[in-house]
Amino acid sequence: MSKTIDKTTVKHVAHLSRLELNDKELETYSGQLAAILSYIDKLNEIDTKDVAPTSHAIASLKNVFRKDVLKPSIGAKESLKNAPATEGDFFKVPQIIEGK
């Protein structure tokens, strides 16, 4: 089943998406979308009835969890060394939410 896409279709979709496209963009996108649909048509020709569905391209992929290892970290003093403003052991930032 071959699908065609032309500048009129791209213009309509752009309008629905609230996008303004000039003539050059309409030409470019209609060509690109036509190529994509052509490729999808080729993929649809492949017989996949004996292929089991997968959730990932690499079916043998498993979640590999590592043990959390506690490692030394830099202290508060070192963390705050380059901060423009601090208050105690904390970064001080401008207030962005108005108080009551």
Taking only the tens place, the pLDDT of each residue in 58-91 is 777 777 788 899 999 998 899 999 999 999 999 9
Question: How far, in whole angstroms, is CA 22 from its chain's centroid?
Answer: 26
93 within domain boundaries:
no
Residue, of 40 and 59, whose pLDDT is higher: 40
> Which CATH number is 24's domain given?
1.10.20
Flag whether pLDDT at 97 surpasses 80.
Answer: yes
Round to whole Å and give the CA distance between 75 and 88. Answer: 13
pTM of this structure:
0.47
56 within domain boundaries:
no
For residue 16, the enclosing domain spans: 7-44
Average of pLDDT values for 11-27? 94
13 within domain boundaries:
yes
78 within domain boundaries:
no
Structural domains of the chain, count? 1
Among the residue ranges 1-5, 17-21, 35-39, 49-53, the one predicted with the least confidence is 1-5
12 within domain boundaries:
yes
Instruction: Let me know the angle formed at the C-alpha of 87 by 81 and 91, rounded to the nearest 5 degrees.
Output: 55
What was the pLDDT predicted at 2? 53
